[in-house]
Chain A
Amino acid sequence: MDSFIPLFVVVPLGGAFLTALVGSFVKGWGRYFTSILLAFLAGFSGWLMFSMPGPIVYSVGGWELFEKVPIGIHMVVDGLTVYLLIIINLIGFLSAFYSIAYIKKFTAENNYYTLFFLMVAGMNGVVISGDLFNIYVFLEIAAIASYALVAFGIEKEELEASFKYQVLGGASSLFILLSIGFLYWKTSTLNIADVSRIILRGGKDEIVIFAQVILLAGFGLKAAMIPFHAWLPDAHSSAPSPISSMLSGVLIKAIGAYVIIRLFFNMFEITYKVSLVITVIGTLSMVVGVLLAIGQWDIKRLLAYHSISQMGYVVLGVGIGMLVISQGGKTSVASLAIAGGLFHLFNHAVFKGLLFLNAGAVEYRTGTRNMKKLGGLAPHMPVTASTSLFASMSISGIPPFNGFFSKLIIIIAAVQARYLVLSILAVFVSIITLASFLKVQRFTFFNKSSDEWVEKGVREVPFPMCFSMIFLAVLCVVLSLLIVPSVRELILTPAVDVLIKAGSYSAAVLGY
């Protein structure tokens, strides 16, 4: 099983190469090829989750440990990694399938699918890499592909958004590289497990603290946490809709939040100060994001601001877990908070992916995203309207949809950890989210007699788009099952255990 791990990087990279090469001779090659390969990867990661005996460590090129010192590059797949892999490849597959119909209006279809593959390869690479510098390399692959994809429409807005995204993204990558340099200076190794052992042995150190600060700034920019969020609404709303759903649904998690979670739990020692900073950043993103969202009239811009707010929930859940651990509180409370955060991460990928696909479907038929010009679409686009209702209820936390349960877990954990203010803020933000999605539903799908749309010939979108939207809407309901203990044991608990037992990661890689 070990030797299959590099497939997660090799398959999409090879796919990108073949799409660029074969696609220029065979018309429509990329369209089906992308969906098939990503469906395979999604199925493979699902199979891996259920059949994995424990953490899998793969040494690239056969460079095993030398006297317990890692000299090669390692790829590590454990509970958290496989959880992220499922999210990336599943949402990737659905976005690619949606693109079959959506992207026909663009001329350079092959380039689109090539970049799509590269982005997936980069994200898979970041998630399975067990090495700081490889995280940086894969992160840049994913980021550069996403810069190009944001500018794919090459109109005024797209170019401006892409430039802004590139400048901030480039600066954040350099911060990350600088901090990797500092960590290498301190520890003379790049392997995450080895760095962790050396840092823990060395005790408190100014260089490590400085590296932590730059690292948090760099990955905070990638994850669009609140002081660093300026690029996200522009970039996510300007990209083609399936790409928006990939960016908001997956990219900010895989190359932002995941790396923060992984490094601050499994590499650094969890200190009170760092956990406080992470919690405050999460809370700020949660509150400010939703307040910025409510006044928007462009559907995709509104959704983009909600991404900031919902990522705030994820970081808040994880941050509360860190705070509890750092103060020596109950492990059960910490694991509940972290489980809530990770559960919300999956849920957000599903419902935000779906909402962006809905916005894309509306734009595909009506040609506008401005809610003031829309209205009364529900009778003409029944699938889009009903799936969008599912997603809206899910994001605003209405039972029995998945968003309700993850928010509930985070709030319960906040109460149990005695952070009452945070739990009240979480409820408050959830209510404002509900209000803002009522606005979306009302001004897009209801509220207006709809003769205008009949004249313009607005009807339901083609099958591939419908399929992806229905699939995600079903997932919105099915994922609520993760609250059932036996299902949770199977999927969420391995991911949470990796973070709670912080030393287990190093032990798995180094073998001692």
Chain B
Amino acid sequence: MKTVTAKFRLYWPLVKGLQTGLLLATGIAGCMSAHTRPDALVLLMLAGSLFLSISGSTVLNMWWDRDIDARMRRTQKRPTTDGSVTPNEVLRLGLALSVLGVGWAVAVDALFGLVVFAGLFFDVVVYSIWLKRRTCWGIVWGGVSGAMPILAGRVLAVGQIEIIGLLLAAAVLFWIPTHTLTFSIKFQGDYNAAGVPTFPSTYGLETTRAMIALSSIIAASSIGVAGVMIGVQAGILRLLVVLSMGLLLLSFATIFRPSEQVNFSLFKYASLYMLASMILLSI
């Protein structure tokens, strides 16, 4: 038992609990947004398969990026870089979680499984392995993979890929740059040291801030339109508008009154915004 606990403690940081939790929340919200009262077993299978596949792709990313993680101060203490786990062990864990997660998802529903697999494929192969070190536009594909859990949840509930599912996916897709670009501004030095191209290093801070504002507008609009199409109550729609206004104001503040504080606020607020929006769309 002690060994299992020790292993769990060792592996847990590889899963990035907060990030995985937030993506999992989008998946559950996608399913709940259909308001079809899915039974507890369906929700459990959705959560289990998504958790495993998101964790699997995160672990595989860490395995692939261990060399650049070692060069960035922010990531130097990850288990993959401080030597507490061997690369082979991380690879095996990542593959095992991914196969289990995608396999479980396919067993639940073929189309749901395909969307879950697409998320994993875009994240690991297209984003991390192919594009991350070549172009700053790789984050778009990272965003596409991040949008897959909510689409998968919606697909599981309604049985098809439809406009509301795509709008919800677009909301997450365009929310991700708000999150990652503020992050890349904050840790610009780290990314430069590791040789990873970012928007700030390629296009400068002003363009990056404009991109953040633009993506926030699109994300907030997509959530709003999806909310209307889902038919959420007027009160919930009001709250969504209020939270979206907060996101937009902070995004514009990054353009017109840029500062470390505004950047940090936007980064944190964007996460809160996404979590709150997901809960509201599920009610």
Q: Are both chains from one complex?
A: no
Q: Which residues of B contact A (CB under 8 A)?
A: none
Q: Which residues of A contact B (CB under 8 A)?
A: none
